Every structure is written in structure tokens, then in C-alpha cells.
Structure 1
Amino acid sequence: MFKPVTIKDIAKALNLSTSTVSRALRGGYEISEETKKIVLDYAEKINFTRNPIALSLKERRSYSIGIIVCEVANVFFSQAIDGIESIAYNKGYHVVISQSHDQYEREVTNIQHLANRSVDGIIISLAAETKDYSHIEKLHAQGLPIVFFDRILESMNTHKVTSNNTQGAFDATEYLISKGVKKIAHLANAKQLSITEQRKIGYLKALEKHDIPFDENYVKYCEHGGSKKGEVDTAIKELLDLQVKPDAIFVASDRLSIGCLEALKKYNPKNDVLIAGFSNSDVVNLLKPSLSYVRQPAFEMGRIATEMLINLIESKYPVEEFETKILDTTFHINE
């Protein structure tokens, strides 16, 4: 029968106290480098690993971080998760990933499940359908560290990481204007998302700069983030059915961009509508019609959010000052 080696076994073999061995394995500053080396060399020799369950019970920590994103298959979120994991695993934390699929009820279930699993903190990007934030606010009020990224909750006093959505949207819209078009529609995400408002502001600023009047009929919101079948298709058809149809579309997200291209192939065979939008996928370089795109620093956003969360988790004192980091986007032209 397998019997794991314990700290007591190492202490006995090296004629040291269990507390000395424990501190040496943890890298404690109060233990000499010579003693640390003796302990670590012996632990490696016998393939010793610390019992994570015993460790978490002793320190009242699970050394796990919960992640909630709308969809792992979305390239932006998969890149952000890579960034999250690059920091978490180096700091000794495991990552538990869950998907909301942009559904409010699934987000509520996921965050409650993660809290019940005793994660030490949560990194979340809000679902498109979420309008009631009480499920997050209650856990935060109870002391669970929470960090937002990309789709953030402005009203909550905690760390947040996002990109310069307004500038990215401005760049994309101004590029379309530079191609000689003036009737520019905007395919947007759910109204209440932080990114939706920020990207619409950038779109409006570009129109204003070039003296192009804003037409509310040219803005279509996708309240389910494009996850509901036919949602994007319907929005594009409504735009193309307008008496004065748009000659370009600024699209607010990856999923919406793909849906927009599919709908245009169906309803706009003349291929005379230009598109620019947000996308982190390399596949966009192969798409027809071509899509010029705003890219967000997803990996870096995930990395910074994780550093922020671990700092909250490991802080010995209550944290009262919080930061919102806004990272620059880049614009890529596909002719």
C-alpha cells in the first residue's frame, strides 16, 4: 500500500525539527541557505511533494483561482487565460475555468460553484446578459477577492484591467472613413456591458471629428453577445433593409465579426460593404470580405489581472486602494 513521505519523515532522516523542514520547503527567510539546500536536495532525491489538502487546511487557503469567461473558444479569452496561467502556476496556484456562454444564470451558477469550492479569489469578465450584479457583490462583501478584466463592473471597488476600447473603436471607424465611406453602421454588444459604451464613444468621436452626422438607426445591439442563434443575422438584415443602407460596419467584438461576415455573404452578394472591428483571431487575415481589426493585448490583460488578484489574496492587511489598468490596443489593416 502506497504511503506518502511526510515532513516528519524528512525531519527524522535529517535530524532536524519539523518546523525547520517546513520553513525550508516554503523558502522561509529565517532558515539558512545551507539548511534549505540540504532539505530541498533530500526532498528532490525522495520525490517529496507537499500535500496540498493538508497545506490548504493548515493555511485556510485552497491555492486555486476561479476564472469566469463567456467562452474559452473565443480567441481573446483563450489568450487571456494563457496570461492568467503564466502567472498563477508560477506562484503555486491552480486555475479553475468556467464558461458563462454569455448567460446570466450560468454566470450566477458558476460563481457560486467556485465560491463553494473555496477558491481563494475570482477573475471575471461579465456575461453579455448580466444586468443584476448582486451574486458578485454579495461574495465581494463577504471578503472574496475579485478582479475584473475586459468587461468590468465600474461600480465595484476592486482592481480592474481593460483595454483602451474608445481609442480602438475610434481607430477602426476612422479607418473606414479614410476609405471614402460616410454611412457607417455599428454592430454592438449588449448595452449594459462596459466595453459596449466605451466602443460606441470611440465610434461617435470618429464620426464627429469628420463631420459625419450620427444616425441611431445605424446602431444595432446584440443583447446576447451573438450567442443566440440568428441574433447577428437579424441585425445585419435590418441594417441592409434600411432605406439608406450603410456602406460600412464597425463591429464591436470577435464573435459579432464572424457572424457579421456570414450574414453579409448571405444578404450582400455585391460585397460592397466595408468592415472593421475588434478581433484577436489570426483567422481574420484569411476572411473574405477582408476585415481590418483592433487587437487587444489579451495575454497581458490576463497576466496583470492575476498579479492583482494574488496581491489581494496574499495581502496581510485589508486593501483599500484599487487600480484600473487600461492597456493600449493596436489596429491592423487588411486591404
Structure 2
Amino acid sequence: MKSGLVTIKDLARELNISASTVSRALKNHPDISAETKRAVNELAEKMNYQPNAVALSLKQRRSNTIGVIIPEIVHYFFSSVISGIEDVAYDAGFNVIICQSNERFEREVANAKTLLASRVDGVLVSISKETTSYKHLHNFANNNVPMVFYDRIVPDLIADQVIIDDFDASYRATKHLIDSGRERIVHLGGPMSLLIGKQRKEGYLKALAEAGIAVDEDLILESDSFEKARMAIMKLINQKKKFDGVFATNDLTAIGAMQTIQKKGYKIPDEIAVVGFSDGRFSGITDPTLTSVDQHGYEMGTIATQMLLKRITAEVDDYPFETKVLNANLIVRGSSLI
């Protein structure tokens, strides 16, 4: 027998019966005798026969597969989202194809083309830092493929979405630093091309304004990675810029800041307090432990998938699009408590 996946024709050849008989036996058709069904199923199991998913999807007009475009799988928040997605999809009988953009626009476009070519029933999308053009995402709607955004959304593209209140979460994180006596607070932010970057900065600015603290633009830096944070904090210290608090747009950025602060001889939180964002697995094992905003990644993944499956299985497609806003919690730990 030729190498490769076993087909219905292979089973038919081995049993010396027609392919249509094999097909009906596998589907437990009443016109097929019990003896033939038994023989077909035993051989199918012996030869490890698997149905052709592509052929079935063409026939049934559904692949029972959803696609996911994710910026970074290694990021704890996004890995938590994936866990939520897969749990809901698995329970509903759906497979998941995960594509990583690695924060690059070109790869995100390639991901979108791959998922369309794979005939997925729907997609879950969180855009990359570089994404400012959205034609590849409009292509899903043009091909009647439902889409749900999670965390990072496209404001002008109408679709279901699951987000947290980034503005409020950042406001409360910054206010926490102010309430602990900090007045010179560094904001290590994300790119302003992303709505979450803008909203986290705006929440930070609101907290300063409410407390009557003047804004120092030198303390607001686009720095959203471990290495960028180390360089940013080192630059501020070398320039002798005074600061007593740091609010970072994610935990790895906060940890990069913490390491540099400590390396330069400053005590956390006595001299400089630090707050992160995402409450990842590292936040509880830093020294001191890291105060952080819990984004509820797993919950976001489950809700986004439930919304997508509802859209996929709906008998009508004209019901209103939904936006679910999750409340983020500030988890206070040693990096900001004196």
C-alpha cells in the first residue's frame, strides 16, 4: 500500500467492497449489515484511518476549527488567554489553530492569510504593536468569517471584543503609588499606535492631575520590554532625574526596571516603588514581590471564545456586536508597600 494517510478507498480495497459501502458503514447507515460495519470499523482502527477534515468541512460548510492570532505566546498574559480559549473550544468540539505574529505586522498579515486558507470558522485576534493597517482583518468580514478581538482591538473595525478597562486600571495603579507618598512617578508605556498604550498613559495622567502633580514629560517613556526598561531607567539615573515611583505597562518591563534600580543601589520600595501590569507568574517571585494589575487572561480567553462560538453557530447573523469589559484588580505586593 502507498505511504501516507489511509483513505476510504484503501479500506475498500482491503475488504474488496465499494468505497460508498465503507463510507456508509463508518456512518452507521441502517442499510449496511452489522457484519460489514464491524469489519469496516475494525480495519479502520487497525489501519489508523482518520476522516479527511478538509473534505468534511467542504461538505458540511464548517471545519469546527477556530483560528487565533496572538502577539506573543511567551507572554504570561497571552499564554493564559490561550488556556481559556482552548478549554472552551475543546469542550465545544472545536480545534484551535494558533498563529503568533511576534509583534510584527507582516507576520500578522501572513497569519490572517493562513487562517483564511485553512477555512477556519472564526478567528480571535489581538493585533501586533506594528499594526496600523487593517485590510487583512477586513478580509475576514469580507469572507463571512466572524471575528472577536481580545485585549488589543481596532477601534474603527466593528466586531465583538473582550477588553479590560485599561484607563481605570492604570489610573488606580498610579493612584496607589501617589497614595503611598510618591510624587515623581515614571511611566514606562507601550506604543501609542495601540489603544491600550494610549489608555494606560491617560489613566496615569489623570491620577497625576487629580493629585495636583505636575507632568514631567522626561518621566514618560515608550518602553515596554525588559531590555528597554533597563536602558530607560539607567538613562534616567545617569541623567540624575529624580523619581520615587515607576508604573510599567507590563510585568517584564517592571522587572527590568526593578533590576536596574537595585543594581544602582536604590532600595525597593523604600526609595522607589514599582507597579507592573498583567500579574504574571514572575510577579510573585521577584524580590520584593511585584505589585501588579491582574488582567484576568484566562477569563478573557474563555469569554472571547464563547462569543465567537455563539457567532459561528447562530442561526441569524444580524444580532448586535458586543463589547465585554472586564474589571482588572490591583494586586498589592512588596514592591510598593512600606
TM over 0.5: yes
Residue 304 of structure 1 is matched in structure 2 by 303
With over 3 angstroms needed to count, the CA separation of the structure-2 counterparts of 1:319 and 1:291, relative to structure 1, is same
Deviates more, 1:318-327 or 1:181-190: 318-327
Whole-Å separation in 2 of the counterparts to 1:61 and 1:113? 17
Q: 1:192 to 1:54 in 2, by over 3 A?
A: same
Give the drift of 1:196: 1.1
Give the 3-state SS of the residue equivalent to 1:170 in structure 2.
Answer: helix
Q: Would the aligned equivalents of 2:279 and 2:331 in 1 still touch at CA under 8 Å?
A: no
Q: Does 1:220 align with 2:221?
A: yes
Query: Which has the higher mean CA deviation after the structures are superposed, 5-14 or 80-89?
Result: 5-14
Whether the 8 Å contact between 1:181 and 1:247 is mirrored in structure 2 is yes
Partner-residue secondary structure (3-state), 1:153: coil
Indicate the SS of the match to 1:208.
Answer: helix
**Aligned counterpart, 2:260:** 263
2:200 aligns to what SS in structure 1?
Answer: helix
Residues 270 and 243 from structure 1, CA distance in 2 versus in 1: closer, same or farther, beyond 3 angstroms? closer
Tell me the alpha carbon deviations over residues 254-273 of structure 1, each in whole angstroms, 9 at most, x when there is no partner.
3322332333344x322332
Structure 1 residue 254 and structure 2 residue 251: aligned? yes
Quote the Cα distance in structure 2 between the aligned partners of 1:123 and 1:192: 20
Matched, 1:276 2:275: yes
State the number of aligned residues: 305
1:238 paired with 2:235, answer yes
Larger Rg: 2
Aligned to 1:102: 103
Secondary structure class of the residue paired with 1:299: helix
Shift of 1:317: 2.6
User: Counterpart of 1:88?
Assistant: 89
Secondary structure class of the residue paired with 1:97: strand
Give how far 1:327 is off.
0.3
- How far off is 1:282 after superposition? 2.8
Q: Deviations over 1:170-214 (max 9, x none)?
A: 221111112211001100011111111221222122212221122
SS in 2 for 1:152: coil
Indicate if the aligned counterparts of 1:275 and 1:290 stay in contact, CA closer than 8 A: no
1:334 match:
333
Shift of 1:302: 0.5
Letter aligned with residue 139 of structure 2: K
Distance in 2 (alpha carbons) for counterparts of 1:62 and 1:310: 13
Is 1:121–1:145's contact at 8 Å kept on the other side of the alignment? yes
Residues 64-143 of structure 1 mapped to structure 2, 5 A cutoff:
64-143=65-144
**2: distance between equivalents of 1:210 and 1:126?**
34
Alpha carbons of structure 1 residues 12 and 330: separation in structure 2 relative to 1, 3 Å: closer
Q: 2:200 aligns to what?
A: 199
The structural deviation recorded for 1:55 is 2.5
Partners of 1:312 and 1:260 in 2: CA distance = 42
TM-score normalised to structure 2 length: 0.81
User: Unaligned stretches of 5+ in structure 2?
Assistant: 13-20
Gaps spanning 5+ residues in structure 1: where?
Answer: 18-38
Question: Counterpart in 1 of 2:18?
Answer: none
Q: Decide whether aligned partners of structure 1 residues 309 and 12 sit closer, same or farther in structure 2, where only a CA change above 3 A counts.
A: closer
| 2:285 counterpart residue number | 286
Task: Give the whole-Å Cα distance in 1 for the aligned partners of 2:156 and 2:70.
Answer: 19
Using the alignment, how far apart are the partners of 2:80 and 2:253 within structure 1?
Answer: 18
> Cα distance 1:11–1:325, how it changes in 2: closer, same or farther (>3 A)?
closer
1:198-235 Cα distance to aligned partner (Å, 9 max, x none): 2122212221222112222211113xx428xx433332
Q: Note closer, same or farther for the CA distance 1:12–1:86 as it changes in structure 2 (3 Å cut).
A: closer
Instruction: Name the CA distance, whole Å, in 2 between partners of 1:185 and 1:11.
Output: 64
Tell me the equivalent position of 1:316: 315
Residue 289 of structure 1 and its aligned partner are, at CA, apart by 4.4
2: CA distance, partners of 1:137 / 1:333: 41
TM-score, structure 1 length as denominator?
Answer: 0.82
- Measured after TM superposition, the shift of residue 156 of structure 1 is 0.7
User: What is the 5 A alignment of 1:163-178?
Assistant: 163-178=164-179
Q: Distance in 2 between matches of 1:135 and 1:56?
A: 23
